[in-house]
Amino acid sequence: MGRKWGDGRGWLAVPGGRGRVPLEVAASYRARRRGLLGRDGLDGALLITPTNSVHTFGMRFTVDVAYLDRSLRVLDVVTMRPGRLGMVRWRGRHVLEAEGGAMASWGLRPGVRVAVDLTDRGGSGGPGPAGRTGLTEGPGPGA
């Protein structure tokens, strides 16, 4: 019962955290390969899917990396300087990347289950109308 991800934009919600964080989704081979390479920073987060490991070769800044399982539960959060190779997380299915220090300010830590709202999928503007949930994955009833 997997879900087909596509490249695009949306929002990341961290329960009890900062609210909604701008999110880019890299699901195609090309987008995953590019990742954050060539950028000087990132406003929000980048979700790379599917993957269970990343590297920071060629990066210009320190990144926070959160490894997520299939249900978008955080398995681990690490900070990686440029030029490093991350360890493989065997239960990992997705990776979130953000500028170093950002995830702590959002309250992202192991065990937290995030939600992804892709209502702005492929667009370049802000969020959709209030109450619009689009293709949301994350905490369901009773979570």
pLDDT digits over 16-50, tens only?
866 789 999 999 988 887 777 677 778 899 999 99
Instruction: Report d(CA 48, CA 67) in Å as an integer.
Output: 10
The answer to whether the beta carbons of residues 66 and 77 sit under 8 Å apart is yes
- How distant, in Å, are the alpha carbons of 1, 27, 67, 89 from that of 74? 20, 19, 6, 11
Q: What percent of the chain has pLDDT over 90?
A: 52
Q: How many CA atoms lie within 13 A of 128 on its CB side?
A: 16
User: What is the side-by-side strand order in the sheet with 8-14?
Assistant: 74-80, 63-68, 94-99, 45-48, 19-26, 8-14, 115-117
φ/ψ of residue 135, rounded to 5 = -95, 80
DSSP per-residue letters across 86-127: PPP-TT--EEEEEETTHHHHHT--TT-B-EEE-TTTT-SSS-
| pLDDT score for 120 | 56
- Using the structure block, give the residue that is written with the tokens 């299939």: 70
- Using the structure block, give the residue that is written with the tokens 């681990």: 76
| pLDDT score for 80 | 94
Q: Which residues of the chain have pLDDT under 70?
A: 1-3, 17-18, 37, 120-143
Beta bridge partners of 14: 19
| pLDDT score for 119 | 72
